């Protein structure tokens, strides 16, 4: 834990000096999907990124966003009325995870290839920290198979842990347009803990997005 805090403090100090640099900047908005090992499902991935363009080929930035997964699990069966002929329905518990990664990125762009393949390829590596909220809820019901009664329940757990990502993508910019559209895919690692409980939220990430230049800060 102490080593993690030292790394985060060093990253914060390094990026706190960036606003003083008179370099080009851009912002990005991204929307896509991600897959996590726990609970082995796809979810919504929403991301925003702020970049300092040190030169046409090298960029550093900060990104954050929301990764959300919702799933249901059958926990019993309940009859809708009295008697053996009454219809039965499955009773399900509802779970949600809301993950908020904060990642410092380094990116290599290859604009020189645009004249040959019409797009600008890039590769990104990032390192940071993730925060996650897990919610669980179930209704009160009596299981028709066992006769056992269950009370309404709602639980919350907060997870944290280191995160890193490796991404590759390409952007396309229409003639006379400032906006560049892009698509990217890669891998994000995030093994998060809450006490002795660990969830592996690592997996594939796929996004589309748009980039807008902000110019240089004078």
Q: Whole-prediction pTM value? A: 0.84
What six digits make up the tokens of 77? 């069966």
In this structure, what are the phi and psi dihedrals at residue 4, rounded to the nearest 5 degrees? -60, -45
Closest to 23 in 3D by CA, of 65, 60, 67: 60
The answer, yes or no, to whether residue 15 has pLDDT greater than 90, is no
Provide the 10 A C-beta neighbour count for residue 88. 12
CATH number for 195: 2.40.160.20
SS (H, E, C) 108-137: EECHHHHHHHCCEEEEEEEEEEEEEEEEEE
Q: What is the pLDDT of residues 146-184, one digit of tens each?
A: 777 778 889 999 999 999 999 999 999 998 999 999 999
| Domains in the chain, number | 1
What integer pLDDT is reported at residue 204 of this predicted model? 97
What integer pLDDT is reported at residue 88 of this predicted model? 72
**Residue ranges making up the domain that contains 94:** 2-216
What integer pLDDT is reported at residue 14 of this predicted model? 60
CA 39, CA 71: separation in Å to the nearest integer?
A: 8
Q: What is the pLDDT of residues 93-143, one digit of tens each?
A: 899 999 999 999 999 999 999 989 999 999 999 999 999 999 999 888 777
More confident residue, 218 or 90: 90
What integer pLDDT is reported at residue 180 of this predicted model? 96
What integer pLDDT is reported at residue 19 of this predicted model? 60
Average pLDDT over residues 60-74: 92
Beta strands per DSSP E along 120-202: 120-138, 141-142, 149-150, 153-173, 180-194, 197-200
In this structure, what are the phi and psi dihedrals at residue 119, rounded to the nearest 5 degrees? -130, 160
């Amino acid at each position: 834990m102490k080593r993690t805090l030292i790394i985060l403090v060093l990253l914060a100090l390094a990026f706190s000096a960036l606003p003083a640099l008179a370099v080009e900047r851009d912002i990005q908005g991204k929307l896509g999907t991600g897959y996590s090992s726990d609970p082995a499902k796809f979810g919504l991935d929403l991301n925003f990124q702020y970049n300092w363009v040190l030169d046409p080929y090298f960029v550093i930035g900060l990104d954050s966003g929301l990764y959300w997964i919702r799933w249901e699990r059958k926990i019993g069966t309940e009859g809708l009325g009295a008697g053996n002929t009454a219809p039965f329905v499955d009773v399900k518990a509802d779970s949600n995870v809301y993950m908020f990664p904060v990642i410092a990125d380094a990116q290599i762009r290859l604009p020189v290839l645009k004249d040959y393949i019409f797009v600008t390829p890039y590769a990104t590596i990032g390192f940071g920290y993730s925060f996650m909220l897990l919610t669980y809820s179930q209704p009160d019901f009596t299981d028709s198979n066992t006769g056992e009664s269950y009370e309404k329940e709602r639980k919350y757990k907060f997870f944290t842990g280191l995160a890193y990502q490796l991404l590759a993508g390409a952007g396309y910019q229409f003639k006379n347009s400032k906006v560049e559209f892009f698509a990217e895919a890669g891998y994000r690692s995030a093994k998060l803990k809450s006490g002795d409980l660990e969830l592996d939220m690592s997996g594939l990430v796929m996004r589309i997005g748009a980039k807008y230049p902000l110019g240089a800060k004078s």
